[in-house]
Amino acid sequence: MSFDGVFTYAIVSELEETLAGGRITKIHQPSAYEIVMLVRARGHNHKVMLSAHPTYARVHLTNETYNNPSEPPMFCMRLRKQLEGSIIESVRQVDFDRIIVMDTKGRDELGDLQTKRLIIEVMGRHSNIILVDASTNTIIDSLKHLPPSVNRYRTVLPGHPYVAPPTHGKLNPLEATEETVLKKLDFHAGKLAQQLVSAFSGLSPLFANEAVFRAGLANRATLPKSFLSLIDDVRGRRFAPMMYTNGEKEWFYVLPLKHLQIEGQPFASASELLDRFYFGKAERDRVKQQAHDIERLMANEKAKNEKKLLKLEQTLEEAKKADVYRLYGELLTAHLYAAKRGMTEIEVANYYDENGGTVTIPLDPQKSPSENAQQYFQKYQKAKNSLAVVQQQIERTKEDIAYCDTILSQLETASPKDVEEIRDELIEQGYLRPRAAKGAKKRKTTVPELDRYVASDGTEILVGKNNKQNDYLTTKLAHKDDVWLHVKNIPGSHVVIRNKQPSDETLLEAANLAAYFSKARHSGSVPVDYTRIRYVKKPSGAKPGFVIYEHEQTLYVTPDEELVRAMKQRQKEQAAKPS
C-alpha cells in the first residue's frame, strides 16, 4: 500500500498550495469511479483526479486526458450543480489518515452563500467520494451508497449525517515522541514494522519497513530515532517522490526507500509520480470492463476455429489418399474374378509397380467385389474434389484465427474510444449483433481518430489502435512516400512516419511504437518491418486491417514504455502551443 497517510500528507500539501482560493470551473466523470475537476487558480487551469477505484484509488493533479461519456452520470450532475463556480477555501487531511477534505464556498440558485465539503476517502475497495453540506454535516450525495444493511457503524446515503471511518484508536505520528514510540513497541514480540503500522495512523508497511531498516540491528535504541527522523522529513515536507521496480513489481513513495535496495526513478512532484505510475492502469481496467463481452467472444471464436482447423487438417490428410483409393479401385476391377463376397481383404498384383509387387486391398464383406471397387472410385472422386475445397477452408480458418488474435491484441492496448470502434467493426463483420435501442439514432460515420506521437526530432508519427484506424491510416490518410511500419508476422498496429526521409533515430522510435502496440509488447528484440506506403496493399475481400507488403527492411527493438510516454508528452506539448 503506497498511498498511505504519508503520501496523502504530501498530496494535500500540493493541492493546498495549488488549489486554495481557486474556482471550480468544470466537473467530469470519465468512469464509474473517477471524478476530474477543472480548477482555475492563480491564473492557471489545473485538473484534479479524484478516484475511488477499488484498486487504483488516489487523489492528485493530473496532465492526462480522459474521455468523458456523452451522458454524465447522476453523481457528476449533482456535483456540477453543487460545486461548479465555487471557491476552494481549503484542502486538508483528517488525522493523518487517507481522508482528504475540500471545503468550498459558493452561491445556490437563490444567491445564498453555501459551504460544501467534498470528502475523498482513499481506502482500497472501501474508497468513496462524498459531498456533504458543511453547515449541517448532512450527506448530499456520494459516489458509492452504503446502506445500514451493509455497514451498521456508518450509513452513507443522501440525507444522513456524515460519520467518519473508525480510527481504531491509533496515534497521529506527527505528534509522536521517542517515549510514545517506545511505549507502543514490544521488542520481544518481533515484527516491529507491523507493530508500528498497528500503533500509528496512516502508516503503510513501506514506511514502517524503512524505519526498521534504517534503525539497523540495534533497533531498540535507534528505531524511535529513525522513525521520528522520517516523520520529521514529512512534517518539514522534505519529499523525494520516487518510483521503484524490480522488473516484476512496482512501488512508489514520497520518501526514499533504502530497504528496497533498488535504484529509484525521481519525479518533480507526488502528482507527477502518480500520473506516471497509473499511466494506463485505470484506463486498462475501464477497457477490460467495457470490452469484457468482446474479449470473451473473440477468445471463444478463436478456440472454435482452432478445433475446426484440426478437423480440416485431418480431412486434408484423408483427401491426400485420393490416389490410393483410385489405385485400389482400378486393381480391384482388374481382379474381380479373384474376389468373393464375404472377403475382408484381397492381395493382388500391382501393375503400376515396376518391381512387380503386390497390394493388399481392404474389402467390405457385406458388398460384392464390384460394389467394393465402385466404393473406392467414389472415395477417390470425393477426396479429389474436396482437396481444393479443404485447402481453401484451412486458409480461411487460419485467417479467422489471425483476425481473432488481432482483435484480442488490440484490446490489450485499446482506449475506451477504441473499444467502441472495435465493437462497430465486429458488428459490420457479423460477429456481434447491433445494440437495439428504442428511438436511438444511427451514429454518423466519423473519420477514425488516430493516436499521434512526436519523435525526438519533431517528426509526427501516427498509430492505428484498431483495424478501422489501421485501414484509414494505411489506405487513405498516409502519403505514398510515407514510411509504414508493422511488427513481423505478429498482430499489431499500423504505424506511419509523416516524413519521406526519417532519421535513423525516428525510425527506431516509430519501430518502438509498432512493437509496443502489438502482441509482442512484453518481448525483447521484436522484429519490425518497414517500407513505403506505395508498397503496402490491401487484398480485395481481405478482413479489416489486413495488408500485404514488399520491399521491406527489418529493425529489432525492445518495447520501451518510457519512450512511448515521452513521445506522447511531446505531442501534447506541441498541441498545446498556440498556432
pLDDT in tens, the chain (579 residues): 589 999 999 999 999 999 999 999 999 998 889 999 999 999 999 999 999 999 899 999 998 888 788 899 999 999 999 999 999 999 999 999 999 999 999 988 878 899 999 999 999 899 999 999 999 999 999 999 999 888 778 999 999 999 998 878 899 999 999 999 988 888 888 889 999 999 999 999 999 999 999 988 667 678 999 999 999 999 999 999 999 988 778 899 999 999 999 999 999 999 999 988 887 777 777 788 778 889 999 999 999 999 999 999 888 887 777 888 889 999 999 999 999 999 999 999 998 888 888 999 999 999 999 999 999 999 888 888 777 788 889 989 998 999 999 999 888 888 877 888 898 889 988 898 886 654 445 555 578 889 999 999 999 999 999 999 999 999 999 999 999 999 999 999 999 999 889 999 999 999 999 999 999 988 989 999 999 999 999 998 888 889 999 999 999 999 998 899 899 989 988 887 775
- Mode of pairing for the β-strands spanning 99-107 and 250-253: unpaired
Distance CA 47, CA 27 (A): 10
| CA angle, residues 351, 356, 362, in degrees to nearest 5 | 65
Distance CA 323, CA 340 (A): 24
C-beta separation of 463 from 517 below 8 A: yes
Distance CA 525, CA 560 (A): 11
Distance CA 482, CA 546 (A): 18
Q: Which residues are CB-neighbours of 4 under 8 A, at least 6 positions away? A: 98, 202, 203, 204, 206, 207
Integer angstrom CA distances of residue 382 from 61, 112, 310, 317, 377:
70, 88, 20, 13, 9
Sheet bearing 553-557, strands edge to edge: 451-454, 460-463, 495-497, 483-487, 526-532, 553-557
The DSSP letter of residue 473 is: I
- Mode of pairing for the β-strands spanning 345-349 and 358-362: antiparallel
Note the pTM of the prediction, 2 decimals: 0.71
For 190, how many CA atoms within 13 A lie in the half-sphere containing its CB? 0
The grid coordinates of residue 18 equal: 495549488
Distance CA 125, CA 203 (A): 18
Strand-pair partners of 359 = 348
Domains of the chain in start order, with CATH, are: 5-161 (2.30.310.10), 173-268 (1.10.8.50), 283-413 (1.10.287), 451-576 (no CATH)
Sheet bearing 242-245, strands edge to edge: 250-253, 242-245, 265-266
Burial class (CB in 10 A: 0-12, 13-18, 19+), 74: exposed
C-beta separation of 228 from 221 below 8 A: no
How many Cβ atoms from other residues are within 10 Å of residue 396's Cβ? Answer: 13
Is residue 137 left, alpha or beta, with left meaning phi > 0 and alpha meaning psi from -120 to 50? left
pLDDT tens digits along 343-386: 999 999 998 888 888 999 999 999 999 999 999 999 888 888 77
H helix intervals, 414-499: 416-428, 467-472
Distance CA 403, CA 395 (A): 12
Question: Which CB contacts under 8 angstroms, 24+ apart, belong to 380-389?
Answer: 380/322, 380/323, 380/325, 380/326, 380/329, 383/318, 383/319, 383/320, 383/321, 383/322, 383/325, 384/319, 384/322, 386/315, 386/319, 387/316, 387/319, 387/320, 387/322
H helix intervals, 201-291: 205-215, 219-235, 270-277, 281-290
Distance CA 519, CA 312 (A): 27
